[in-house]
Amino acid sequence: MNSILAAALNSSGVFPFKPFIDQCCAQNAVYARTYDEKIYDARDSPSKHLVIICCMDARIDLFRILGLQPGEVHIIQNGGGRLRDAVRSLVCSQALSHTKEVMIIHHTDCGFTYFSNNKQILASLRVRTGTRTEQLNPSQLSYDEDDPDFMPITDLEQSVRDDLAEYKKNPLLKQDIIVRGFTLWTVMALATIEQQYHTLSGNAKERSMIRQSQFTERLTNIEFIHLTDYDDYRLYKLIHKYGSTQAQTFTVNKWLEEYLQESFETPNRYYPNTVQWCSTTMLAFFIRNTTLSMKNINALLLARLEAYDNSKYICYISVLKEHRQNGLGTKLLNEIIKDAIQAKNSRISLHANTENKSALSLYLKCGMRCMAYIPGYYFGDQTYATQNAFTMTLQIKNIKNSTTVCHSTTAVEISSQEEALYKQQCPQAFTG
Ligand SMILES: CC(C)(COP(=O)(O)OP(=O)(O)OC[C@H]1O[C@@H](n2cnc3c(N)ncnc32)[C@H](O)[C@@H]1OP(=O)(O)O)[C@@H](O)C(=O)NCCC(=O)NCCS
Ligand SMILES: [Zn+2]
């Protein structure tokens, strides 16, 4: 047995804390009483014939991110979500459960990206207090005795590609099935998932389509993913890619600030560090046939995830003056609503100046309601005569038809009790 592991198992020190395991055991006693055989005793498990290889990172809740149910898939988790560590389990899964699909998922902000090589990892183990350096023999970890490999990740996209290539080379693994690689954007504890790399199966036409619809701007390291067309405009989802240099982050923030100053008509207001602060979901319209660049945005919506209640907060929505009243604002809201439904968010919220009539009428049209009145929220901002705000919110559970939201009054259904509550919490919104 690994001597470090044995030492840990044998240690009999007095713990200065109450082990969390005790709490787990207590929870399990509650769970066992409500155990539902119908859910867990599915005969044909995993019923979706999918295996997911993913990092062990504690923030990644695959069940919620991918909308999975117990019994549907095999999940193999390890540090980094690496294929090589997963092979033993994967071979058995494929032998026993008619695997038809494999997903390999690596993620941003992964602990394995904090080191650029094996030497650094070894050095950090050696300096850790309590490590017995003479027992540090990481060669057990490797397939190559002379070259211990902790598999650090220096390029996230490349590590996914490497694992796809390694899959293809491994004769133990099924080759006539769908194998796809993904990177997961671990922003503020939850994530959106973007397919980045192509499958081993699939035809050339499919591959070229994926390539065409994605483009990365070198100066900003922003990836543009084409979503849809709307009249003369093209709608893109923008992704702040992992591994941006300081210069790229500076440039994207500068161009976002310039856009926000122009669209909000606030040339002297600062909008600092926008991409770090609010980029879980970035949606932008560009005029067809212009150069795709963060310098050429015509309409923009930036939202971030509020992890405490799994909601989306819209930090900014704005359309350049000459492009307003063409339906772009509506379309952006419509799209973030779809995004929130897909991400299983609880609600969408934002703040608006109580005098911003066009924005407020847009939000009402999309089923948002005033939840709170905040006097002085926009202190120092002279855009409107008063600086008070409404907190507007849309409960996702109230959406009855996601395709007609913002277009039909029946798309969002708000109960009379809920309407009464809004009126009570926000009387200012109903007086003028
Ligand atoms: C608010 C804003 C984003 C709306 O964008 P837009 O692309 O012009 O909006 P749309 O064309 O989709 O119009 C949607 C709805 O907004 C409302 N609206 C838009 N312009 C309006 C105006 N001048 N007067 C009254 N209502 C208006 C209407 O309800 C309209 O729906 P309708 O066309 O069915 O009547 C845009 O005016 C803007 O960028 N303003 C400056 C930035 C800002 O204030 N952002 C909001 C911060 S909370
Ligand atoms: Zn990780």
Nearest ligand to the CA of 266 is: 1
Kindly provide the residue ranges of all beta strands, DSSP E only, lying in 221-298, ordered along the sequence.
222-230, 233-240, 281-287
By three-state DSSP, how is residue 62 classified? helix
Nearest ligand to the CA of 113 is: 2
pLDDT digits (tens, 9 = 90+) for 180-238: 888 887 653 333 444 444 443 344 443 333 334 568 888 999 999 888 889 999 999 99
Determine, yes or no, domain membership for 55.
yes
Determine, yes or no, domain membership for 12.
no
- The answer, yes or no, to whether any atom of ligand 1 lies below 6 A from the CB of 320, is no
Pocket test for ligand 1, best of 265, 325, 408 (most atoms within 8 A of CB): 325
- The answer, yes or no, to whether any atom of ligand 1 lies below 6 A from the CB of 261, is no
- Report the distance separating Cα 424 and Cα 421, nearest Å: 5
Please, which residues have CB within 8 angstroms of residue 113's CB and are 6 or more apart in sequence?
152, 153, 154, 156, 242
Determine, yes or no, domain membership for 246.
yes
User: Any idea what the Cα angle at residue 63 is, between residues 394 and 235, rounded to 5°?
Assistant: 50
Q: Is 354 in the same domain as 307? A: no
Question: Which atom of ligand 1 is nearest to 353's Cα?
Answer: 48
For residue 184, how far is its CA from the centre of ligand 2 (angstroms)? 10
Evaluated on CA atoms 391, 327, 282, 259, the torsion sign reads: negative
Q: Is 376 in the same domain as 331? A: no
For residue 253, how far is its CA from the centre of ligand 1 (angstroms)? 25
Last residue of a domain, one of 203, 238, 265: 203
Q: Is 237 in the same domain as 187? A: no
Q: Is 236 in the same domain as 303? A: yes
- The answer, yes or no, to whether any atom of ligand 1 lies below 6 A from the CB of 349, is no
- The answer, yes or no, to whether any atom of ligand 1 lies below 6 A from the CB of 408, is no
For residue 374, how far is its CA from the centre of ligand 1 (angstroms)? 22
Range of the domain at 274: 213-343
- Shortest-distance Cα residue to atom 21 of ligand 1: 358
Strand partners, 306: 311
- Report the distance separating Cα 318 and Cα 284, nearest Å: 10
Per the structure block, which two tokens stand in for 355? Answer: 């005098």
Q: Is 177 in the same domain as 225? A: no
In the 8-state DSSP scheme, what is residue 14?
P
- Report the distance separating Cα 308 and Cα 85, nearest Å: 33
- Shortest-distance Cα residue to atom 22 of ligand 1: 358
Strand partners, 2: none
Determine, yes or no, domain membership for 312.
yes
Q: Is 227 in the same domain as 260? A: yes
Last residue of a domain, one of 289, 323, 343: 343
Last residue of a domain, one of 203, 238, 264: 203
Q: Is 186 in the same domain as 197? A: yes
What pLDDT was estimated at residue 202? 40
- The answer, yes or no, to whether any atom of ligand 1 lies below 6 A from the CB of 325, is yes
Q: Is 265 in the same domain as 395? A: no
Number of domains in the chain: 3
Q: Is 327 in the same domain as 374? A: no
- Report the distance separating Cα 140 and Cα 132, nearest Å: 16
- DSSP one-letter string for 63-113: HHHTT--TTSEEEEEEGGG-HHHHHHHHHHHHHHH---EEEEEEETT-GGG
Q: Which amino acid appears at position 65 of this protein?
A: I
- The answer, yes or no, to whether any atom of ligand 1 lies below 6 A from the CB of 354, is no
Pocket test for ligand 1, best of 328, 349, 354, 358 (most atoms within 8 A of CB): 358
Contact 371, 398 (CB under 8 A): no
Determine, yes or no, domain membership for 7.
no
Residues with CB under 5 A from ligand 2 (ion): 55, 57, 110
The enclosing domain of 188 has a CATH number of 3.40.1050.10
In the 8-state DSSP scheme, what is residue 13?
P
**Which residues sit in the known binding site?**
55, 57, 107, 110
Question: Which atom of ligand 1 is nearest to 351's Cα?
Answer: 48
- The answer, yes or no, to whether any atom of ligand 1 lies below 6 A from the CB of 328, is yes
Q: Is 391 in the same domain as 335? A: no
The list of the chain residues with pLDDT below 50 reads 1-13, 138-145, 188-212
What pLDDT was estimated at residue 149? 77
**Which residues sit in the known binding site for Zn(2+)?**
55, 57, 107, 110
- Report the distance separating Cα 269 and Cα 266, nearest Å: 6
